[in-house]
Structure formats: C-alpha cells, structure tokens
Structure 1
Amino acid sequence: MTDIANAKIIILASDGFEQVELTTPKKQLEKAGATVHVATPNGEDITGWYFDKWGDKTKADMKIADVTLSDYDAMVLPGGQINPDVLRTNEDAVGKIRDFAGTGKPLAAICHAPWLLIEADLVRGKRLTSYHSIRTDLKNAGAEAVDEQVAQDGNLITSRNPDDLDAFCRAIIDAVTASSSKAA
C-alpha cells in the first residue's frame, strides 16, 4: 500500500452509517499513514448500522460546521441508507461537500453516499457508480451511472458496496498520493 504519511482525511457521517464503510476506510487510510478525522452533524459520537441492526459507536472529532476544508487532503463519505439521507438535508454537510469538491482534492463516496454528491449538484456529466438502487437517481441527476467496483471521474471516486472496500480504499490512497505530488 502506498504511504500517505502527513495526509489528513475527513470523513463526514451521521448515525446510521454503514458500519464497515466508515471503519474500513478509516483503518486502511490510517494504516497507509494518514490522519483521519470524523465529523458529525452535532460533533457527538455516532452509531453505525451493521446489516440489519445498530452497530458500534464511532468517536467524533468535530462538528461538520467546524471543519476547515483547507486542512484536509481528501474527504470520504460512507454510505448506508440512513446516513446519506440524513446528511443530504443538512446544509452544513452539503455545503462542505460542494466546497470540498471545488478544491480538486479527492472526494470519495460509497454505496448510497452518492446521494450527497447529487444533493451538492456535483454529478452532472460525471461517470459514477453507486449501490444499484440509486443508480437511477444518478442518471436522473445527469450522471453516467456504471456498475463497476470503482469509478473515478476527476476528483470524484465512487464505489458500489462493502464488497468494493479494498478497491475503494486503494483508489483513495492513489488519488491522495497523486494529488499531493501535484501540489509539491
């Protein structure tokens, strides 16, 4: 795995995030050397969703409204049905996602999280993937929806589901490495 020491990555999430879609990227990105922070709507710890029941608590580092985007080299949006549905009604979250996309730095969304990219009006003309049940939403918002482990278009990285997590994390690490070498 590529070393991304000194990189800082922000994960935006709320209660109901798909457990492994937050914990696996966090662990893999940290293992690669990154510092990873979790921001939540109210700055409080959140509870994941694990298959068909509530999962484990995840520690929050800050409130979404308090995230300073220039501090981060990438943003990760975990899926699950509940988490992105909650966040897409949160003006702070949608604004941070839209503004981060404008930096050109890697913005990664998995499973149902592309709903957030739709809400931030970032998908028109982009080639993206997602959980199969929201691909129609991507198409209706003007994206080219594909069925692939990872789809990358510019700084947007998307994946379908937990089965794609290793490829998703590898794509994030590669994108952070490429982005930081451009900035150097």
Structure 2
Amino acid sequence: MDPVLNGMNVAILVTDGFEQVELTEPKKALEAVGALTRIVSDKFDKVRGMHHDQQGDEFTVDLLLREADAKAFDAVLLPGGKVNAAALRNMGEAQRFLQNIDEDHKPIAVICHGGWLLVSAGLVEGRTMTSYPALEQDIRNAGGNWVDQEVVRDGNLVSSRKPEDIPAFNDKMVEVIAERLQSHLRGTADEHAVGIAGS
C-alpha cells in the first residue's frame, strides 16, 4: 500500500483500562500508510490496556495530555474500554483537547465506549454515529442519532461499535484522514499559486 498519510500526526488519547486491540490495530493501520502516531495520556510513562476483562500490556506514553496541543495534530483516535472511557469523559483536559480538534474539523475516529468522551465534550448533538450498544441512550440523550452499523461516517467523525468492526473502522479512518491531507495539500498549492501570481 502506498504511504497515503505521510506526515500526518495522529493523537491516540487513552488512560489505563483501554481495550488493547482498539489501540494496537488502528495504530498499525495508520503507521502502515505513513502516519505518525503518539499516545497521549494523563498518565506518566506507561498506560495499561485490557483484553476485555483481563489485564493487557503496558504501552509507553509519548505525550502528557496537559502538554498536548490540538494544533500539533491532524486527527485523533479514541479507543474504547469501559474503564478508560469512563475516566476520560470526566477529564476537562480531554474534553477541551477533543473540542479543539473538532473546531478545526479534524478527523475524530472513535470506537466502542470511546464515544462517552464525545458526549461529555458536547460533540454529539445533531451527529449520526455508532458505539458499543450500552452508549446508545447516552448518545440519544445528548442529541445524537445512534445507529447500529459496523462503521459510520458523519463529516469528520468516524465511529464503530466493537473490536469485530476494526477492519471497516480502519479503512474508513484512513480514508477520512487522507481526505484531510489532500485538502491541506490543495490549499497549500493554491496559496503557492496565489503567491506566484501576486509576485
């Protein structure tokens, strides 16, 4: 596969208790097409994943959430895991980071319980998305349109329900981030053309 996401910086926002495969598989898919990924967390040094209800592996944190600048990233990935998502949704810094990403219409890819952070950040009203079924009522109560599909795209938002949806999730996530890159490249080319015309 051609490296279609060369130079794109993707934040993976997690704390302890994330569903491990929902971090590792999308991360691999992003890096396979040239994206740079960084694990962003409130935890120093390491975060621990889960295999459903069994303890998983530790992963190195690349950047502390309190030091993360949304402007330095082109997209964000939100893995699920009930413990991880329940903790993140109550962090003001996580909410603000996500709001800043959305404000700039940058891609947000969210799976499973990860949608809780979008609810707490006030980002689901009027949006169509999916999630782990337990979040359906929370999303509807927040003004979102919840659907039961393996992957849903609504503008800059890509969502899926569970680990079994990861292949479709990865494809759609890469597609949406690639669109952003192409749009950015076109914008840069247009600015360059205007600069030449004006000189």
- Aligned partners of 1:43 and 1:64 also within 8 Å: no
Match of 2:81 in 1: 80
Quick check: which one's helix share is greater? Answer: 2
Gaps of 5+ in 2: 186-199
- Aligned partners of 1:17 and 1:79 also within 8 Å: yes
Match of 2:170 in 1: 169
- Aligned partners of 1:43 and 1:61 also within 8 Å: no
- Aligned partners of 2:151 and 2:159 also within 8 Å: yes
Give the Å deviation of 1:99.
1.1
Match of 1:5 in 2: 6
- Which of the two has higher C-alpha Rg? 2
AA of the residue aligned to 2:94: A
Match of 2:21 in 1: 20
Give the 3-state SS of the residue equivalent to 1:112 in structure 2: helix
Deviations 1:82-122 (A, max 9, x none): 10100111111111011111110101110001110000000
Match of 1:69 in 2: 70
Give the 3-state SS of the residue equivalent to 2:101 in structure 1: helix
Q: Kindly report the root-mean-square deviation, in angstroms, between the aligned alpha carbons of the 2 structures.
A: 1.0
AA of the residue aligned to 2:50: W
Alignment of structure 1 residues 101-112 onto 2, 5 Å: 101-112=102-113
Give the 3-state SS of the residue equivalent to 2:106 in structure 1: coil
Alignment of structure 1 residues 78-157 onto 2, 5 Å: 78-157=79-158
- In 2, the alpha carbon distance for the partners of 1:71 and 1:83 equals 23
Give the Å deviation of 1:44.
2.5
- Aligned partners of 2:76 and 2:101 also within 8 Å: yes
AA of the residue aligned to 1:11: I
Give the Å deviation of 1:51.
2.1
Match of 1:42 in 2: 43
Q: Which deviates the most, 98-107 or 65-74?
A: 65-74
Q: TM-score, normalised by structure 2?
A: 0.90
- In 2, the alpha carbon distance for the partners of 1:43 and 1:146 equals 36
How many pairs does the alignment contain?
A: 184
- In 2, the alpha carbon distance for the partners of 1:96 and 1:73 equals 12
- Aligned partners of 2:79 and 2:112 also within 8 Å: yes
AA of the residue aligned to 2:31: E
- In 2, the alpha carbon distance for the partners of 1:144 and 1:115 equals 14
- In 1, the alpha carbon distance for the partners of 2:25 and 2:60 equals 14
Gaps of 5+ in 1: none
Match of 2:188 in 1: none
- Aligned-residue sequence identity (percent) comes to 36
- Aligned partners of 2:16 and 2:48 also within 8 Å: yes
Give the 3-state SS of the residue equivalent to 1:113 in structure 2: helix
Q: TM-score, normalised by structure 1?
A: 0.97
